[in-house]
Amino acid sequence: MNEHPSPVRFAARRPPPPIAMLAELTHRCPLACPYCSNPLELSRASEELSTEEWIEVFRQAADLGVLHLHLSGGEPASRRDLVALTRAASGFGLYTNLITSGVGLTEARIIELSEAGLDHLQLSIQGVTPEKADLVGGYAGGYARKIAVAGWTHAAGIPLTVNAVCHKQNMDEIEDMVGLAIELGARRIEIATVQFHGWAERNRTSLMPTRAQVEATTAFVNEARKRLAGTLVIDYVPADHHSRYPKACMGGWGRTGLNVNPAGRVLPCHAAETIPGLTFDTVRETPLAEIWLEGAAFNAYRGDDWMAEPCRSCERKHIDFGGCRCQAMALAGDATATDPVCIRSPLHASLAAAAEADGEAEPGPFVYRGR
Amino acid sequence: MSGEGTAPVSGESAAAGGSGVAVTGATVARLARGVRLREDPVRGQTVLLAPERALALDEIAVAIVKALDGDRDLDTIAADFARQFDAPQDQVLADVIAFIREFSDRRLLEIVR
């Protein structure tokens, strides 16, 4: 959800092949983050695709033109076949990225992943002290394990990105998080402000940053990017509800990427199931290419034919694609509405006022996922 | 993703301003681990794959990346290109250095020395 100045360009053909696929290998996770972005209703372990089924999905993804494969979850290390899946994906030429909390990884497993061809590992951190980090993740000992995982990753030579999810209770420590990322040998940090969907909505007053925090973080990122060029790449997902224009969610619906959930349902974004009326195909029944090209859910908000005003005639519609469909659904009650983050939405003022109020509110105890 | 909001594909231009390393004709570089060239038959092009980045490279960029073997310095590489493309060597070297500096700032390269 950052800028896209140099994406892969393709020949004019609609729809173009997807660049990236997010494989949610499982929804099982030892952590209980209060901003979990997985759907409120999780896939059960008994529904999960088998090893062979996932490998077939990876093969089809590579044939379709996917370049990056993100192995995610839940916690992907909860899958016992993670090394085998990585090896297969790598064998198809896919760029494999493991998105992990680190819990469930051991030194031996990281060496196996490296030998299996893992290209990159993205490790989440919830804070810069064990107390704070483990309070957010809801998992005692999580911080210590993450530090160990970073060390093993570095030793194995696998490039590391630190993923720092930011919110009211840790945003003031952003400089320390960047420092920690450098100390851990990361080449890249993703500073991602919490997105208020699903579980995070239940923790709004505990998580919503203040305007002052948002502005300080943005200023810090701009300065640190220059200062740390050549040391650390900083990707930044700014606070959505404090913005004037919406994010280019997913780089446009059905345009650059797709998600496969643990049960094999193929989604245009990981929250797409919150939009009533959409039907999703599964890789158990339909080839991936057919789903991408012809699936009803993928074609629902492709291009701009579906747009209403003010998006339809807006000069920014090819920049932000009208924002996030799931957020339009959640806040405007209509997935074709302008994302209420946009200043041109009639709902922008009430969204901004709620963000200001929740930002200033005294945080309460976290409502943990699954506890 | 891992229960945390991130984007599957993103690009970001090299940070304007400060450059972390001094790049000269004596510099020796190679692609960092986790950064690799790939032929993309679906789109009929060569792409450079890196964490959260997929860059379509033109022929010159591909030639430069392929020349970064972690052994030859930029002076040697530029001299080769100058002969190959019949171009002035200082100009070629300046272009190669600018390219290396940008890619190094983006952590796509490992500077060997």
pLDDT in tens, A269-326: 999 999 999 999 999 999 999 999 999 999 999 989 999 999 999 999 999 999 999 9
Q: What is the pLDDT of residues A66-122, one digit of tens each?
A: 999 999 999 999 999 999 999 999 999 999 999 999 999 999 999 999 999 999 999
Residue of A35, A67, A241 for testing the chain B interface, max B β-carbons within 10 Å: A67
- Residue A197, pLDDT score: 87
Query: Three-class SS of residue A162?
Result: strand
Question: Nearest-CA distance from A82 to chain B in Å?
Answer: 14
pLDDT at residue A14 tops 60: yes
Q: Which of B1, B11, B19 has the CB atom closest to A7's CB atom?
A: B11
What is the number of other CB atoms lying within 10 angstroms of the CB of residue A180?
22
Q: What is the pLDDT of residues A202-239, one digit of tens each?
A: 999 999 999 999 999 999 999 999 999 989 999 999 99
Find residue A328's DSSP bridge partners.
none
Q: Which of A8, A75, A235 has the CB atom closest to B10's CB atom?
A: A235
pTM of the model: 0.91
Question: Measuring CA to CA, which residue among A301, A321, A322, A331 is closest to residue A196?
Answer: A331
CB < 8 Å to A86, chain B: none
Residue A29 falls in which region: left (phi positive, over 0), alpha (psi -120 to 50) or beta? beta
Q: How far is CA A189 from its chain centroid?
A: 14
Q: What is the pLDDT of residues A172-205, one digit of tens each?
A: 999 999 999 999 999 999 999 999 988 999 999 9
The DSSP letter of residue B27 is -
Size of interface A-B (CB pairs under 8 A): 189
CB < 8 Å to A235, chain B: 10, 12, 52
Instruction: Give the integer Cα–Cα distance in Å for A116 and A149.
Output: 17
Residue of A187, A199, A241, A247 for testing the chain B interface, max B β-carbons within 10 Å: A187
CB < 8 Å to A228, chain B: 20
Cβ contact A285:A267 at 8 Å: no
- Residue A11, pLDDT score: 38
Find residue A97's DSSP bridge partners.
A70, A120
Residue of B2, B37, B40 for testing the chain A interface, max A β-carbons within 10 Å: B2
CB < 8 Å to A21, chain B: 8
- Residue A315, pLDDT score: 95
- Residue B7, pLDDT score: 27
B29-31 and A266-267 strand pairing: unpaired
CB < 8 Å to B16, chain A: 226
Instruction: Give the integer Cα–Cα distance in Å for A81 and A150.
Output: 21
**Res. A13 pLDDT band, cuts 50 70 90:** very low
- CA atoms within 13 Å, Cβ hemisphere of B56: 15
Q: What is the pLDDT of residues A347-359, one digit of tens each?
A: 999 999 999 999 9
Residue A286 falls in which region: left (phi positive, over 0), alpha (psi -120 to 50) or beta? beta
- Residue B22, pLDDT score: 86
Instruction: Give the integer Cα–Cα distance in Å for A245 and A339.
Output: 9
Instruction: Give the integer Cα–Cα distance in Å for B14 and A7.
Output: 13
CB < 8 Å to B2, chain A: 29, 72-76, 99-101, 122, 124, 163
Q: Which of B16, B35, B54 has the CB atom closest to A7's CB atom?
A: B54
Q: Which of A65, A68, A188 has the CB atom closest to B8's CB atom?
A: A68
CB < 8 Å to A270, chain B: 1
Instruction: Give the integer Cα–Cα distance in Å for A283 and A261.
Output: 10
Can you tell me the ipTM of this complex? 0.85
Segments of chain B scoring below 50 in pLDDT: 1-18
Question: Nearest-CA distance from A37 to chain B in Å?
Answer: 5
Instruction: Give the integer Cα–Cα distance in Å for A117 and A95.
Output: 9
